[in-house]
Amino acid sequence: MIELIFTILIFLILGYFVIRGVGNILKGLLFLFLAFLIYSLISSNFPIQTSYIGNFIKPSLEKIKSVFLKVEIISVSKSSNGNLIIVIKNAGYLPIANPSVKIDGREVKVINNLSILLPKSLAALELDWKESFKIIEVEASGAKAIYRASSL
């Protein structure tokens, strides 16, 4: 009789630990899925359907994305050889990579190519542009900055 009580007690204790273990594994999988989903939505690798949910989520995600991925144009000047130099700052919390520059709607070659810019750091980009301009657009990793000027 005592063996039966101990056997039942051991099975109850084992069942309790198995249920807690499976629950923790399921919670871990759920958190991994949520982290993947948030990363995918922020990095724009996940297409959002234009439905009621997509129309509700998209503005919120754009605001969150603008906090984490943000680039600013600090200054614009000419170099000694006449090329345009712009200083950009990664004002977001995530690194940005491979900035591209458009001047007045035309893609411009970046002479000193920058592969990655860490958060809260500055970089100077020398551009193959010797003419006057009205609008400079810098785009990197989904972040965009616009500088408007009449000329240098």
pLDDT confidence bin for 60, thresholds 50/70/90? confident
pLDDT confidence bin for 43, thresholds 50/70/90? low
**pLDDT at residue number 49:** 53
Domain with CATH 2.60.40.10 in the chain: 69-148
- Taking the C-alpha atoms of residue 139 and residue 93, their distance in angstroms, rounded to an integer, is 16
pTM beyond cutoff 0.75: no
Residue 45's contacts (CB-CB under 8 Å, 6 or more residues apart) are none
Q: What is the pLDDT of residues 61-94, one digit of tens each?
A: 777 778 888 999 999 999 989 899 999 999 988 8
Q: Which CATH superfamily is domain 69-148 in?
A: Immunoglobulins (2.60.40.10)
Contact 87, 123 (CB under 8 A): yes
Tell me whether residue 143 is exposed, middle or buried, using C-beta atoms within 10 angstroms of its C-beta: 0 to 12, 13 to 18, 19 or more: buried
- Taking the C-alpha atoms of residue 104 and residue 148, their distance in angstroms, rounded to an integer, is 10
